[in-house]
Amino acid sequence: METLVPLSALAPRPRPSAKPAEPRSSEKLLRLMRKKVGQLLGDFPTLIEEGDRIMVCISGGKDSYAMLDVLLEMQKRSPVKYELIAVNIDQGWPGYDTPQIEAHLKGTGVEYRMITEDYAEIVEGMLKPGQTPCTLCSRFRRGVLYNLAEKLGCSKIALGHHADDLIETLIMNLFYSGRLASMPPLLHSDDGRNTVIRPLALVSEAVLIEYNEIRKFPVVRCGCPSCGLPAQKRQVIKRLLGSLEKDDPQIKTHMLAALRNVVPDHLMDASITRNGAKDSTSRSI
């Protein structure tokens, strides 16, 4: 006979009251982020290699500033010698305050370039009614980054996406695109001309927020009409994960672990189960 589970057993379990965490110093947070990049290097040893010239993409957001700090810090300590060049691209959205970004880059002493591409107007002109600019905007940005990396002689393009970005993208693709895919920490472009890396792939956004609170980076909004709108799919997923996290604070940790623990035979993609590798033509950076 079927055993009925009492409703009370399905209610969220009360969590033990957590002691308020001690605020961490920027050195401690930087050490933690370096450790996470080291862990990622364990999985992807070619992420940063001897002789690399890495183009570090600086958007003016907290994540890209933190990525630059981590890469600069690692550069000082690592036996692997690599060069860094920070790059900011002004896409032409009104109000994008690039002088603040430039002042910060100047202060770090890193080699940098401020690039103006002004494709925002073209993107807006191509939009169909009701369409959001993100897909087109990302496509343009990818083209600009790939060409620029070649022009600057860069072997890698570093993007500041973090663990929460990877998890959210996984869910967005699952819910809205019919694809089981996230953003890889290391990706070679289809034509083999470029390599994209995401050194912060194992760093949680909470750590980056905490770090930014101490470092007080000059965070600059890109000025585009879509950025951070509550109706944006990413914001919807952020809210969903936030509410699930209230019942199980480990939920994102499990999801990140799942990204590193794929069981292709237990999915339903015939091309993977036959060949052991997915023949993908629609990859995104």
Q: Which residues bind ligand SF4 (CB under 6 A)?
A: 133-134, 137-138, 222, 224, 226-227
Render the burial of 176-194: b for 16+ CB within 10 Å, e for the rest.
Answer: eeeeebbbbbbbeeeeeeb
- Tokens describing residue 212: 């930014």
- Tokens describing residue 154: 């860069």
Cβ-based nearer residue to ligand SF4, 134 or 174: 134
Cβ-based nearer residue to ligand SF4, 37 or 200: 200
What is the C-alpha to C-alpha distance for residues 178 and 218, in angstroms, rounded to an integer? 37
Cβ-based nearer residue to ligand SF4, 71 or 224: 224
What's the closest the beta carbon of residue 91 comes to ligand SF4, in angstroms? 6
What's the closest the beta carbon of residue 159 comes to ligand SF4, in angstroms? 12
What's the closest the beta carbon of residue 232 comes to ligand SF4, in angstroms? 7
The closest alpha carbon to 207, from 7, 9, 34, belongs to 34
What's the closest the beta carbon of residue 161 comes to ligand SF4, in angstroms? 12
- Tokens describing residue 44: 């992807």
What's the closest the beta carbon of residue 95 comes to ligand SF4, in angstroms? 12
Q: How far apart are the first and last CA of the chain?
A: 52
Report DSSP letters for 235-249, one per residue.
HHHHHHHHHHHHH-T
What is the C-alpha to C-alpha distance for residues 112 and 85, in angstroms, rounded to an integer? 5
44: helix, coil or strand? coil
Taking every pair of Cα atoms in the chain, the longest distance, rounded to a whole number of angstroms, is 72
What's the closest the beta carbon of residue 133 comes to ligand SF4, in angstroms? 4
Cβ-based nearer residue to ligand SF4, 74 or 148: 148
Cβ-based nearer residue to ligand SF4, 100 or 226: 226
For 79-100, what is the HEC assignment? CCCCEEEEEEEECCCCCCCHHH
Cβ-based nearer residue to ligand SF4, 44 or 146: 146
